[in-house]
Chain A
Amino acid sequence: MALLEEPIKEVKVLKNYIGGEWVESKGEIVDVVNPATMKTIAKVPISTKEEFDAAVEAAKAAFPDWRRTTPLARSRILFRFKQLLEENFEKASRIQTQEHGKTIDESRGETRRGIENVEVACGIPTLMQGYISEDIAHGIDEWCMPTPLGVFGIIGPFNFPWMIPLWSAPYAVATGNTIIIKPSSEVPNSQSFLAELAEEAGFPPGVWNVVHGGRTVVNAMLEHPDIKGVTFVGSTPVGRDVIYRKCGETGKRVIAQCGAKNFMTIMPDCAVDNTIASMMTSFFGNTGQRCLAAANAVIVGEDDDFYNEFVKKVVEAASKIKIGYGLDESVQMGPLRDPAKKQNVVKYIEIGLEEGANLLLDGRKFTIQGDYPDDCFIGPTIFENVRPDSRLGSEEIFGPVMSIMRVKDLDEAIRITNANAFGNGHSIFTQSGAAARYYQYNVESGNVGINIGITAPVAFFPFGGMKDSFFGILHTQGKEAIRFFTESKVVIQRWF
């Protein structure tokens, strides 16, 4: 199948977008490499603290006027933004594939999820309404109104370069705040392109800012007294021990969405073919680099025939997955983001073997569709007889590795699922309503799937997370994001 055209054709040094200007950074410049071709597609600055501080000043200066801009006027800019995102849907999707490696279907899905958040935020005139009680005492009225706070920081991860900042950004600006986005330096092009569209949509200078970089920018964001809050998506050690802790110390509100080890429970009454399609998507989609990717397949029941036949079909399906460059529409699984991530997955395959798990499909042996270097590619891996308390069965791998576990009943499946430290996106596949209800009631997971392998909430629901998968109180997306980005100001009124 012919490749779709690459949108990034020449290597440019990306600029920061500060105060409505595209500004060159004085920081170190590093390459952005397409993981499928291993060609450099851009260069990104590792911005300095001073450059981040300049962005804060610009965002702070823009805040008073932006706050005074009526919600309806802010909404109109968001509608223009949404229209531009639709017009540039395909380009945005192909940029994601080119810089991240995911397949074009996955990138288009990511683009759509991002746009949905802008669509929800367009409803800000009603989403941001407060409430009032007349005569809380004789002649005294009281009301509560959500008000914006100021400048927010948004830290994006590498695995969803376009969508994840959009879980926060539209709500932050819709509520009258100003923002500074720090994209992952591995995949910075998507957010640069998004900022171009934000500029074209008419956000006033300083409302929407992008500062590329790494740890220096993150630390500056966490330390800066004028940053009112931070949203973060990334690993649990960083989210819990750095972002959440530091925001607590500096008095910032925080949403830290972190790691996962998702369990998919498979009941013997599941719809087998559809379940297997969902498993392929959940375990191997985005090459396993999703916080909602399933990692452990928990097969319920003592029926050996069902177990053996089901596992055989799963292995067959996984072994047929087409691996290659995501701009080839026939490709079902792209590369991992970089060689180090591949080495990490290989390490876990070796750990699985050392722990005595049975390797049914070895991802270290694979065929790439097309002539591409194998630096970042890996095939789907399937282990069985994995213990839930083993490293393979309990730690986040962030790669296309399925660990099959067998349990005697649903209670045992829920018990081993809940024993894991994470609680992000567990799911059950069954045709039984009673089993599904029992599962969703008892499982400890911020997002629960019933015959859904990727439990990604749509934009008007919060993106949940429990235990070591989430640190904070309110979540990104929808009404909870509106709450996060606003302070409840209560007014009590009496006239003499």
Chain B
Amino acid sequence: MALNTCSEGISFARELEQAAAGMYERLAQLLPAEAETFRAYASGNKKNIANIEQAYYGVITDAIEGCYAFNIEPADYAIDVTVGAELDRAAALAKAIAVEETMLRFYQVAAEQAKGLMADVPRAFTLVARKRGERIEELKSLAAR
């Protein structure tokens, strides 16, 4: 079922960030050479949640359209965060890039849909999307080494 309310959108973003953070923590254990990067990503995801929640809880009032902010199909943004012991470095980085690209797409679409309606929330989503874009570049660079 499509996500429509701002509350649902925030909860979905939180789920994505938490799931991806968990994936990075597992990847850090699996690939000690990249552990520092992955742990920083996991930590960054927690900051993303905090920033998004701060924007939402700070701006949500009855003057804005909290119950009609989005029309997002969550299945379009499903992420695979399983980390098996057999995963090698290349496959791990490819998985991380796929997760980040999906999440980037979610934030871009969500920000566009809520633009003009949800004040600071789309701005917070755009900032997280920008960070995701930078992260994708970094992961691609790691994969190319």
Chain A interfacial positions (CB closer than 8 Å to B):
1, 89, 103-106, 108-110, 112-113, 271, 274, 277-278, 280-281, 285-286, 290, 292, 317, 322, 329-333, 452-456, 458
Chain A residues in 8 Å Cβ range of B43: none
Residues B62 and A106 in contact, CB atoms below 8 Å apart: yes
Chain B residues in 8 Å Cβ range of A333: 67
- A–B complex contacts, Cβ < 8 Å, 23 sampled: A1-B8, A103-B66, A105-B60, A105-B66, A106-B66, A108-B57, A108-B66, A109-B60, A109-B62, A109-B66, A277-B69, A281-B64, A281-B65, A281-B68, A285-B67, A290-B62, A322-B4, A330-B3, A330-B5, A330-B8, A332-B67, A453-B65, A456-B62
B58 within 8 A of A: yes
Chain B residues in 8 Å Cβ range of A285: 62, 67
Closest to B68 in A: A277
B85 within 8 A of A: no
Residues A105 and B5 in contact, CB atoms below 8 Å apart: yes
Chain B interfacial positions (CB closer than 8 Å to A):
1, 3-8, 11, 57-69, 116-117
Give the complex CA separation of A290 and B62 in angstroms.
Answer: 10
Give the complex CA separation of A453 and B67 in angstroms.
Answer: 13
Give the complex CA separation of A113 and B3 in angstroms.
Answer: 25
Give the complex CA separation of A333 and B67 in angstroms.
Answer: 8
Other-chain contact of B62, A113, A271, A329 (Cβ < 8 Å): A113
Known: A109-B60, A112-B61. 17 other contacts (CB 8 A): A1-B1, A1-B8, A104-B7, A105-B6, A106-B66, A106-B67, A109-B66, A112-B57, A113-B61, A271-B116, A278-B65, A281-B64, A322-B4, A332-B68, A452-B63, A455-B63, A456-B63
Chain B residues in 8 Å Cβ range of A317: 68
Which among B11, B57, B59, B69 has the highest number of chain A CB atoms within 10 Å? B57
Residues B8 and A329 in contact, CB atoms below 8 Å apart: yes
Chain B residues in 8 Å Cβ range of A105: 5-7, 60, 66-67
Chain A residues in 8 Å Cβ range of B58: 112
Chain A residues in 8 Å Cβ range of B11: 329
Give the complex CA separation of A194 and B145 in angstroms.
Answer: 58
Give the complex CA separation of A106 and B117 in angstroms.
Answer: 15
Chain B residues in 8 Å Cβ range of A89: 57
Residues B5 and A103 in contact, CB atoms below 8 Å apart: yes
What's the least CB distance linking B77 to chain A, in Å? 16
Closest to B11 in A: A329
Residues A280 and B65 in contact, CB atoms below 8 Å apart: yes
Give the complex CA separation of A285 and B59 in angstroms.
Answer: 17
Closest to A317 in B: B68
What's the least CB distance linking B9 to chain A, in Å? 9
Give the complex CA separation of A398 and B138 in angstroms.
Answer: 55
Q: With A109-B61, A274-B117 in contact, do A330 and B68 touch (Cβ < 8 Å)? A: no
Closest to A333 in B: B67
Which among B4, B7, B60 has the highest number of chain A CB atoms within 10 Å? B7
Q: With A109-B61, A290-B62 in contact, do A274 and B7 touch (Cβ < 8 Å)? A: no
Give the complex CA separation of A106 and B60 in angstroms.
Answer: 8
Residues B65 and A110 in contact, CB atoms below 8 Å apart: no
Q: What 8 A-B pairs have minimum CB-CB distances, sorted nearest first?
A: A105-B66, A332-B67, A329-B7, A277-B68, A109-B61, A281-B65, A109-B62, A277-B65
What's the least CB distance linking A179 to chain B, in Å? 24
Closest to B114 in A: A277
Q: With A329-B5, A330-B1 in contact, do A280 and B67 touch (Cβ < 8 Å)? A: yes
Which among A277, A285, A290, A292 has the highest number of chain B CB atoms within 10 Å? A277
Residues B62 and A277 in contact, CB atoms below 8 Å apart: no
What's the least CB distance linking B139 to chain A, in Å? 32
Give the complex CA separation of A103 and B62 in angstroms.
Answer: 11
Which among A105, A278, A453 has the highest number of chain B CB atoms within 10 Å? A105
Give the complex CA separation of A416 and B52 in angstroms.
Answer: 43
What's the least CB distance linking B35 to chain A, in Å? 34
Give the complex CA separation of A103 and B59 in angstroms.
Answer: 16
Give the complex CA separation of A453 and B11 in angstroms.
Answer: 25
Give the complex CA separation of A476 and B59 in angstroms.
Answer: 21
Give the complex CA separation of A452 and B61 in angstroms.
Answer: 12
Chain A residues in 8 Å Cβ range of B66: 103, 105-106, 108-109, 281
